Amino acid sequence: MFGNWRHICVDMQRMFAEDTPWRVAWLEAVSPQVIEVASRHSARTIFSRFCPPARPSDAHGMWRTYYEKWRMMTGEHLPPDMLALVPELARYCPPATLFDKQTYSPWVDGRLHARLAMQAVDTLIITGGETDVCVLATALGGIDLGYRVIVLKDAVCSGADETHDASLTLLGHRFSAQVELLLTEDFLSSDPERDR
């Protein structure tokens, strides 16, 4: 029913779950759904991780300005273990894999698309955070590359309710020919295949 799919779990990291300036309060609420997908389909799961540079001067263009504002979230101030997945998800690696990125989108340097193309993947199941930033970038990039994109709407979250809701509306309406919004339970019950 879903073709040759992979679960892209976006930025479920300690720095977004714990007491940092980037904490996403809703992350805890969607974690059970994300864990359910990752636990049932760990071999099909790719955890993308947002990785800030060591210092603002290591970034280019407007990213340098961005990290001058968020200097406390760069490598010279943020403990390295804060980049790790939340412990509840880290246990699924391996067989799940990690994909580190320096931008909102995981598609910029072509590595992820090349990996998926080698495996003839045609469908992306997207969970994680934030709906209006990295999840949105992951979905839109997937659309551009021709993937069928399925966003599990109860397994994505944001620190801002208004733009979370607006992003789901945008994806579900404006991109309705290329994006599907499903509940986690509906996705899991519709695809009986288990990891082998």
- What is the tens place of the pLDDT at every residue in 117-145? 999 999 999 999 999 999 999 999 999 99
Residue 65, class by beta-carbon neighbours within 10 Å (0-12 exposed, 13-18 middle, 19+ buried)? exposed
pLDDT band for position 193 (cuts 50, 70, 90): low
Secondary structure (3-state) at 149: strand
pLDDT tens for residues 60-119? 999 999 999 999 999 999 999 999 999 999 999 999 999 999 999 999 999 999 999 999
- Nearby residues of 147 by Cβ (< 8 Å), 6 or more positions away: 116, 121, 122, 123, 124
Which among 161, 164, 110, 113 has a CA at the least distance from the CA of 134? 164
pLDDT band for position 3 (cuts 50, 70, 90): confident
As a whole number of angstroms, the distance between CA 148 and CA 124 comes to: 6
* pTM for this model (two decimals): 0.93
* Two structure tokens written together for 29: 């609420």
Helix (H) or strand (E) holding 97: strand 97-101
Residues counted in the chain: 196
pLDDT tens for residues 147-182? 999 999 999 998 888 899 899 999 999 999 999 999
What pLDDT score does 190 carry?
85
